[in-house]
Amino acid sequence: MALIVQKFGGTSVGSVERIEAVAEHVIKTQQQGHQVVVVLSAMSGETNRLISLAQQIDARPSSRELDVLITTGEQVSIALLAMAIIKRGHSAVSLLADQVGIKTDNMFSKARITEIDTTRLKQELEHNRITIIAGFQGRDEEGNITTLGRGGTDTSAVEIAGALQADECQIYTDVDGVYTTDPRIEPNARRLSHITFPEMLELASVGAKVLQIRSVEAAGRYNVPLRVLSSFSPDNGTLISYEEGKMKNTKVVSGVASVKDEALILVNNVDAKPSNLANVLSLLGEHNIEVDMINHLNHSEKKIDYAFTVHTNDCILAEEVLAQHAQNLGGATVEVNANVAKISVVGIGMKSHSGAAGLFFMALAEENIHTLLVSTSEIKISALVEEKYLELAVRALHAKFGLESTE
Amino acid sequence: MALIVQKFGGTSVGSVERIEAVAEHVIKTQQQGHQVVVVLSAMSGETNRLISLAQQIDARPSSRELDVLITTGEQVSIALLAMAIIKRGHSAVSLLADQVGIKTDNMFSKARITEIDTTRLKQELEHNRITIIAGFQGRDEEGNITTLGRGGTDTSAVEIAGALQADECQIYTDVDGVYTTDPRIEPNARRLSHITFPEMLELASVGAKVLQIRSVEAAGRYNVPLRVLSSFSPDNGTLISYEEGKMKNTKVVSGVASVKDEALILVNNVDAKPSNLANVLSLLGEHNIEVDMINHLNHSEKKIDYAFTVHTNDCILAEEVLAQHAQNLGGATVEVNANVAKISVVGIGMKSHSGAAGLFFMALAEENIHTLLVSTSEIKISALVEEKYLELAVRALHAKFGLESTE
């Protein structure tokens, strides 16, 4: 008997019919001899409906009250699923954050879970009840309702799985697993049966949108195996764990990912003082602009060029801030290019395979794709390219690293 | 400075516009120097929408889960009202049953409040915050969500007013007060500026639907003056209190009410044993059939006729049960008449005015209306008449007791 946490997202509970299907699925899991805890999102569309009600009253509503409002969405889902399970003659109980004891800090709309008291949860499981928990929500120390931000239900599921030391946390979604790359770009993309936490974290950070980074981090921290499955045609999906050994025919690279939402900022002809880069980055930090890739090139002893990327939403602000500061940098010029894409390959096998970087640039060179910026980690290589090459670069890398072959 | 509890029902918060209007009204009350606690229902239509979702899953859904589901309606209202008040630059906070400490028994869908812990409420009021509480809901000892049944938000408001020893509990609704009779029957019906608790209780029990009996009882128990007002054009409405003295030109009778939902049951030719009536009533009680008016008539030493009324919903069951039992009653016959109406006059002045009964039967006799059953209390006279005479009887009594004249 295993203890399994199953999380179903908005489309998985998007209608009464879908909720009935989830009920059948959950009951089947229990009948296979497992203890089941279910964590649900709001029915798809419901959170947006509620937010729109709020915005009819105030374009920027009180964040405390917005959390009170939108947490009703999950409350509706859990009650309906419990009814559907009870109708089928099985024992079920829906529980809210305060009933499960999900404590958070008091950052409304983006709270972090600080503690989960599993007393009641364990009682319900001992009574062999299917326990259904409202995702996305918590309570702060004063008992106020909080929410965990976008993707919060994944976080709830993983944190609950961690607190219960569950055997597996299953994330049911509208895709059936993690792929070697986006199948809309490369039709030969292959679903991975297994991937490690560090790889999944890197992939999530460079554009694989299956899971929120926070929930992958949390699952890794608690060492709870995470599985991504389709709620529409559940099979084994993709398992995310620390166990590299289980992977057959380990590849150097597990996946190729891409993001379009970064912009390249060039600050040219800066006086070559070591403090200048620090000043530039601090300045952006003061304006809450996050910098991702960073590079610089001395083209004389006196002058230096900086290149870095920011989120495209921030690039106009970044340009303004830097242009105002240009005089202090010795008359530097600022240039922004939003038509760029970041392409990355991720693989735990790169640790022990020195040829990966060579293959990476070879693949791009063969297609005459210039790289504008490069960054590497132990298990990842990323390059910034012109946006028009995004799909071509992804397909070239996918082929070069042999990802399309059957596992 | 007074402490005022204001309750707004579903139509009063039925749209974003209505919620904005309630916000203005509440703020105005605070600006007049009062402390304000607001208790809200769900937006009109919302509870029915949620129940219909549940019934798509199960025609008789789990009552625990139904309570989890439908309490989201009030949660939405309170969050939206808090936003609307905050937008106007005033301090407000929405609170759920568990945050206010509204404890109930564990009778899902018809729970009773057992305790209200006012600690947090008082804290919020000390901070001069407009405190907005979800009506209709509570928590049982295990922390499960419960609801108080139809009209539960009125009960919430009155119980909160009682716990806080509020100066007044104001019930905003879609009528502007309590009338001497239903204005749809008697256009000359007059709004009462004041009525006593005992009268309001009797009126509510005989068909005046402005307030639920439970909330009037509770307000009387706590001695919290209750005021019924229109949320669309608030003026002074009708005040319900114990103070008879404030009434100018006290009338013998305060109001005339009528109900159509009772059926007359005649059990004729019963053996005249004293135990038989007890047996008949016990039998109905075993089938959860409540009996209202009761009469009997000995027409010989050996035989007796019983007459009583039950709710029309129960009359077919009552007829079946009694017909099966007829043999034990000495071959009695059972007859049901659902085409009857109960007409009542209520007035605290009847205590000290012996002519009320005379006037009552005079009014009916003048219109040739026969009475089928009669029952009286210290401040009420009721008679059962054929249903076709309902409106005529109401108008006759209204006129006979001089209710249409200006106060």
Q: Which of B75, B82, B98 sits opposite A72 (nearest CB)?
A: B75
- Cα–Cα distance, B129 to B144 (Å, whole number): 28
Give the β-pairing of B340-346 and B303-311.
unpaired
Whether B64 shows a pLDDT value over 50: the answer reads: yes
Whether B352 shows a pLDDT value over 90: the answer reads: no
Give the β-pairing of A130-134 and A35-40.
parallel
Per-residue confidence at B250, pLDDT binned at 50, 70, 90? low
Contact criterion met (CB < 8 Å) for B72 and A69: no
- Is B43 domain-assigned? yes
Chain A residue numbers touching B84 (CB-CB < 8 A): 57-58
Whether B213 shows a pLDDT value over 90: the answer reads: no
Q: How far is A274 from chain B (nearest CA, A)?
A: 48
For residues B134 and B78, the answer to whether their CB atoms sit within 8 Å is yes
Q: How far is B150 from chain A (nearest CA, A)?
A: 20
Whether B31 shows a pLDDT value over 90: the answer reads: yes
Comparing C-alpha atoms, which of B67, B61, B52 is closest to residue A87? B61
Would you tell me how many other CB atoms lie within 10 Å of the CB of residue B405? 10
Whole-Å CA distances, B273 to A210, B276, B285, B323: 80, 6, 19, 18
Q: Which two tokens stand for residue B13?
A: 């918060």
Whether A107 shows a pLDDT value over 70: the answer reads: yes
- Residue B328, pLDDT score: 87
Computed over its alpha carbons, how large is the radius of gyration of chain B? 24
Q: Which of B13, B24, B62 would you mutate first to test chain A, the one with the most A CBs within 10 A?
A: B62
**DSSP assignment letter at B111:** -
Residues from A contacting B (CB-CB < 8 Å) are 16, 19-20, 50, 53-54, 56-58, 61-62, 64-66, 68-69, 71-72, 75-76, 78-80, 82-84, 86-87, 93-94, 96, 98-99, 120, 143-145
Percentage of chain B lying above the pLDDT 70 cut: 98
- Residue A249, pLDDT score: 53
Comparing C-alpha atoms, which of B388, B351, B381 is closest to residue B363? B381
Contact criterion met (CB < 8 Å) for A79 and B143: no
Backbone angles phi, psi at B36, to 5 degrees: -125, 125
Q: State the first-to-last Cα distance of chain A, in angstroms, to the nearest integer.
A: 30
Q: Which of A16, A87, A99 sits opposite B143 (nearest CB)?
A: A99
- Residue A163, pLDDT score: 96
What are A135-194's pLDDT values in tens digits? 999 999 999 999 998 789 999 999 999 999 999 999 998 888 999 999 999 999 999 999
A89: nearest CA partner in chain B = B62
Comparing C-alpha atoms, which of B200, B212, B220, B210 is closest to residue B151? B212
Chain A residue numbers touching B100 (CB-CB < 8 A): none
Range of the domain at B32: 3-174
Would you tell me how many other CB atoms lie within 10 Å of the CB of residue B286? 9
For residues B48 and B11, the answer to whether their CB atoms sit within 8 Å is no
Comparing C-alpha atoms, which of A86, A138, A88, A75 is closest to residue A108? A138
Q: How far is A112 from chain B (nearest CA, A)?
A: 21
- Cα–Cα distance, A224 to A159 (Å, whole number): 9
A47-66 average pLDDT score: 96
- Residue B376, pLDDT score: 87
What are A343-395's pLDDT values in tens digits? 999 998 887 777 888 899 999 999 999 999 998 888 899 999 999 999 999 99
- This complex has an ipTM of 0.81
Q: Which amino acid is at A300?
A: S
- Residue A248, pLDDT score: 52
What are B374-397's pLDDT values in tens digits? 988 888 999 999 999 999 999 999
- Cα–Cα distance, B204 to B255 (Å, whole number): 11
- Is A344 domain-assigned? no
Contact criterion met (CB < 8 Å) for A79 and B68: yes
For residues B178 and B254, the answer to whether their CB atoms sit within 8 Å is no
Q: How far is B60 from chain A (nearest CA, A)?
A: 9
Among the residue ranges A46-55, A218-227, B124-133, B342-351, the one predicted with the least confidence is B342-351
Contact criterion met (CB < 8 Å) for B143 and A98: yes
Q: How far is B287 from chain A (nearest CA, A)?
A: 26
Q: Which residues of B352-387 are buried (b: 16+ CB within 10 A; e: fewer)?
A: eeeebeebbeebbeeeebebbbebeeebbbbbbbbb
Q: Which of A61, A79, A93 sits opposite B83 (nearest CB)?
A: A61
- Is B109 domain-assigned? yes
Residues 6+ apart with CB under 8 A from B211: B151, B154, B171, B178, B200, B204, B226, B228, B240
Q: Which of B20, B57, B94 sits opposite A87 (nearest CB)?
A: B57
- Cα–Cα distance, B259 to A32 (Å, whole number): 57
- Chain position carrying tokens 């279910």: A38
More confident residue, A341 or A299: A341
Q: How far is A386 from chain B (nearest CA, A)?
A: 45
* Torsion B323-B324-B329-B330 (CA) sign: positive
- Is B207 domain-assigned? no
Q: Which of A58, A80, A87 sits opposite B87 (nearest CB)?
A: A58
Contact criterion met (CB < 8 Å) for B16 and A75: no
Contact criterion met (CB < 8 Å) for A58 and B145: no
Give the β-pairing of A238-241 and A194-196.
parallel
- Cα–Cα distance, A24 to A43 (Å, whole number): 17
DSSP SS3 for B294: strand
Q: Which of A54, A143, A145 sits opposite B83 (nearest CB)?
A: A54
Chain A residue numbers touching B64 (CB-CB < 8 A): 82, 93
- Is A80 domain-assigned? yes
Whether B22 shows a pLDDT value over 80: the answer reads: yes
Contact criterion met (CB < 8 Å) for B82 and A65: yes
Contact criterion met (CB < 8 Å) for B99 and A144: yes
Q: Which residues of B185-198 are buried (b: 16+ CB within 10 A; e: fewer)?
A: bbeebbbbebbbbb
Residues 6+ apart with CB under 8 A from A314: A263, A287, A289, A290
- Residue B67, pLDDT score: 97
For residues B309 and B293, the answer to whether their CB atoms sit within 8 Å is yes
A69-87 average pLDDT score: 98
CA angle A144, A148, A149 (to 5 degrees): 125
Contact criterion met (CB < 8 Å) for B86 and A144: no
- Residue A406, pLDDT score: 57
B274-296 average pLDDT score: 89
- Cα–Cα distance, A337 to A357 (Å, whole number): 25
User: Residue B317, CB half-sphere, CA atoms under 13 Å: how many?
Assistant: 14
- Is B336 domain-assigned? no
Contact criterion met (CB < 8 Å) for A71 and B66: no
A88: nearest CA partner in chain B = B58
Q: Which two tokens stand for residue B298?
A: 């000995």
The pLDDT mean for chain B works out to 92
More confident residue, B355 or B316: B316
Give the number of beta-carbon pairs within 8 Å between A and B: 111
Q: Which of A68, A76, A78, A131 would you mutate first to test chain B, the one with the most B CBs within 10 A?
A: A68
- Residue A245, pLDDT score: 57
- Residue A233, pLDDT score: 78
For residues A136 and A147, the answer to whether their CB atoms sit within 8 Å is yes
Residues 6+ apart with CB under 8 A from B349: B250, B251, B252, B253, B254, B356
- Cα–Cα distance, A332 to A177 (Å, whole number): 47
- Residue A355, pLDDT score: 82
Whether B406 shows a pLDDT value over 60: the answer reads: no
B192-205 average pLDDT score: 90
- Cα–Cα distance, A326 to A337 (Å, whole number): 18
- Chain position carrying tokens 């606690």: B37
For residues A264 and A340, the answer to whether their CB atoms sit within 8 Å is yes
Q: Annotate chain A with three-state secondary structure.
A: CCEEEEEECCHHHCCHHHHHHHHHHHHHHHHCCCEEEEEECCCCCHHHHHHHHHHHHCCCCCHHHHHHHHCHHHHHHHHHHHHHHHHCCCCEEEECHHHHCEEECCCCCCCCEEEECCHHHHHHHHCCCEEEEECCEEECCCCCEEECCCCHHHHHHHHHHHHCCCCEEEEEECCCCCECCCCCCCCCCCECCEEEHHHHHHHHHCCCCCCCHHHHHHHHHHCCCEEEEECCCCCCCEEEECCCCCCCCCCCCCEEEEECCEEEEEEEEEECCHHHHHHHHHHHHHCCCCEEEEEEEECCCCEEEEEEEEEHHHHHHHHHHHHHHHHHHCCCEEEEECCEEEEEEECHHHHHCCCHHHHHHHHHHHCCCCCCEEEEECCEEEEEEEHHHHHHHHHHHHHHCCCCCCC
User: If 0-12 CB within 10 Å is exposed, 13-18 middle and 19+ buried, where does residue B16 land?
Assistant: middle
Percentage of chain B lying above the pLDDT 90 cut: 73
Chain B residue numbers touching A93 (CB-CB < 8 A): 64
- Residue B407, pLDDT score: 45
- Is B25 domain-assigned? yes
Q: Which two tokens stand for residue B349?
A: 């002045």
Per-residue confidence at A209, pLDDT binned at 50, 70, 90? confident
Q: How far is A356 from chain B (nearest CA, A)?
A: 54
- Cα–Cα distance, B251 to B402 (Å, whole number): 8
B70: nearest CA partner in chain A = A76
- Residue A407, pLDDT score: 45
Among the residue ranges A246-250, B51-55, B115-119, the one predicted with the least confidence is A246-250
Contact criterion met (CB < 8 Å) for B57 and A16: yes
Q: How far is A242 from chain B (nearest CA, A)?
A: 38
User: Residue B252, CB half-sphere, CA atoms under 13 Å: how many?
Assistant: 19
- Is B108 domain-assigned? yes
- Cα–Cα distance, A322 to A316 (Å, whole number): 10
Chain B residue numbers touching A83 (CB-CB < 8 A): 54, 57-58, 61-62, 65-66, 69
- Residue B246, pLDDT score: 55
A24-51 average pLDDT score: 96
Whether B326 shows a pLDDT value over 60: the answer reads: yes
Give A302's strand partners.
none
Residues 6+ apart with CB under 8 A from B350: B252, B253, B356, B378, B379, B380, B381
Contact criterion met (CB < 8 Å) for B144 and A99: yes
What are A220-256's pLDDT values in tens digits? 999 999 999 998 877 889 999 987 655 555 678 999 9
Comparing C-alpha atoms, which of A206, A107, A113, A110 is closest to residue A158? A113
Q: Which of B80, B85, B132 would you mutate first to test chain A, the one with the most A CBs within 10 A?
A: B80
Chain B residue numbers touching A16 (CB-CB < 8 A): 53, 56-57
A60: nearest CA partner in chain B = B87
A70-74 average pLDDT score: 97
Q: Which of A69, A108, A132, A136 would you mutate first to test chain B, the one with the most B CBs within 10 A?
A: A69
The pLDDT mean for chain A works out to 92
Q: How far is A260 from chain B (nearest CA, A)?
A: 36
The domain tally of chain A equals: 1
Residue A40 sits in a domain of what CATH number? Answer: 3.40.1160.10
Q: Which of B54, B87, B96 sits opposite A57 (nearest CB)?
A: B87
Per-residue confidence at A92, pLDDT binned at 50, 70, 90? very high
Give the β-pairing of A3-8 and A35-40.
parallel
Q: How far is B75 from chain A (nearest CA, A)?
A: 6
Residues from B contacting A (CB-CB < 8 Å) are 16, 19-20, 50, 53-54, 56-58, 61-62, 64-66, 68-69, 71-72, 75-76, 78-80, 82-84, 86-87, 93-94, 96, 98-99, 120, 143-145
Phi/psi region, residue A289 (left: phi>0; alpha: psi -120 to 50; beta: rest), is: beta
- Chain position carrying tokens 């209200």: B116
Q: Which helix (H) or strand (E) holds B315?
A: helix B315-325
Q: How far is A69 from chain B (nearest CA, A)?
A: 5
